[in-house]
């Protein structure tokens, strides 16, 4: 911690509380029926996104998941644009057409959240290839969950990135559950990071509830990628305080388990304790940061509420395909 400037430490704390407050507000708005579609919240996992993003530069790229609000905020995404997108408004970062699971902002290198499990991993590899080919000196980071590590996209992406020594960092946010299935039932290895051995790249396990630990591991992996030494697989062991999606009955885990994690492994509380114990900040400073974050969230929600919905005439704008005329008829040989 002594090597990290105070300004960066306070930025990390601010990002973490901003993500938490925004996600709690999203839970509230979804319950009111104001957010269409599914919502997957990031509460409890804030240290992973922030610890990694604290090492990135504006020209770097990330790919996200269906649980992508935290990644978007930590990468520097406009909170007002994100909230407008959640509410399906025209002022959203995707003009209200993407929603919670498809938030993106190419201007900040956020190549998009993805509703397909593991869908963003090869996109990060593609971005890393562009970085290397164009000699831009940038890196790409792919965020994905433990369930995505059993998808073909995961293995194919690690293999190609390793062969070509691409500047990409793969970050597994292992929150223990693939929707409702515990990781011990869907993955035979104790640590997903062990799979890096098959591709000849470093595999590192880190406590995903400790933002400083994530920061240090990510720093080494990102610097390695910038030097042209290839990819790294980071497994951040974390935990989501909410259900897989809002409305999830969570019958697959006990209330006691959730309460234990929230009491003992809350990443924000753990970071607060370290900052205070080392005399880096005072409680008054932390409260001012929290109040600023709360105010920004409230302003973003207000902006989204007051924004207009997209015009129905814009339905076919900004899309990659449009309906064809007539029906496609298959004529099978007899």
How many C-beta atoms surround the C-beta of residue 177 within 10 A?
Answer: 21
Torsion sign, CA atoms 181, 185, 190, 192: negative
Q: What is d(CA 157, CA 141) in angstroms, rounded to the nearest whole number?
A: 12
Q: Please, which residues have CB within 8 angstroms of residue 297's CB and are 6 or more apart in sequence?
A: 18, 21, 22, 25, 79
Q: What is d(CA 268, CA 262) in angstroms, rounded to the nearest whole number?
A: 10
HSE of 102, CA atoms in CB hemisphere, 13 A: 11
How many C-beta atoms surround the C-beta of residue 188 within 10 A?
Answer: 7
240 is catalytic: yes
224 is catalytic: no
State the residue for tokens 């990659």: 320
Q: What is d(CA 31, CA 52) in angstroms, rounded to the nearest whole number?
A: 31
CB 109 within 8 A of CB 143: no
195 is catalytic: no
| Residue among 40, 66, 69, 240 flagged as catalytic | 240
Q: Is 173 helix (H, G, I), strand (E, B) or coil?
A: strand
How many C-beta atoms surround the C-beta of residue 214 within 10 A?
Answer: 28
| Residue among 252, 278, 283, 295 flagged as catalytic | 252
Cα angle 90-96-99, degrees, rounded to a multiple of 5: 160
Which whole-number Å values give the CA distances from 4 to 10, 119, 313, in the listed order?
10, 34, 50
- Catalytic center residues: 240, 244, 252
């Amino acid at each position: 911690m002594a090597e990290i400037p105070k300004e960066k430490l306070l930025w990390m704390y601010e990002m973490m509380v901003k993500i938490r407050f925004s996600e709690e507000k999203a839970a509230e708005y979804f319950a009111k029926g104001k957010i269409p579609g599914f919502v997957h919240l990031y509460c409890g996992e804030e240290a992973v996104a922030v610890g990694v993003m604290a090492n990135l530069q504006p020209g770097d790229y990330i790919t996200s998941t269906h649980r992508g609000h935290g990644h978007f905020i930590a990468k520097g995404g406009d909170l007002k644009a994100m909230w407008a997108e959640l509410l399906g408004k025209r002022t959203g970062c995707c003009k209200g057409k993407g929603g919670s699971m498809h938030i993106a902002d190419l201007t900040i290198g956020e190549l998009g959240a993805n509703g397909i499990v593991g869908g963003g991993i090869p996109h990060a590899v593609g971005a890393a290839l562009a970085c290397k080919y164009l000699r831009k000196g940038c890196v790409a980071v792919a965020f994905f969950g433990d369930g995505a590590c059993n998808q073909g996209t995961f293995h194919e992406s690690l293999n190609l990135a390793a062969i070509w020594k691409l500047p990409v960092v793969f970050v597994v946010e292992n929150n223990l559950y693939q929707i409702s299935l515990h990781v011990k039932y869907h993955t035979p290895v104790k640590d997903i990071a062990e799979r890096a051995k098959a591709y000849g790249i470093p595999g590192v396990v880190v406590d995903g509830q400790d933002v400083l630990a994530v920061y240090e591991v990510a720093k080494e992996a990102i610097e390695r990628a910038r030097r042209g030494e290839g990819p790294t697989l980071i497994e951040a062991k974390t935990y989501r305080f909410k259900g897989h999606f809002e409305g999830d009955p969570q019958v697959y885990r006990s209330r006691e388990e959730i309460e234990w994690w929230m009491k003992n492994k809350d990443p924000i509380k753990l970071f607060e304790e370290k900052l205070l114990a080392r005399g880096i900040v005072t409680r008054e400073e932390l409260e001012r940061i929290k109040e600023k974050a709360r105010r920004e969230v409230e302003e973003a929600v207000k902006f989204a509420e007051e924004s207009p919905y997209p015009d129905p005439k814009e339905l076919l704008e900004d899309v990659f395909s449009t309906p064809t005329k007539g029906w496609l008829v298959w004529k099978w040989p007899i």
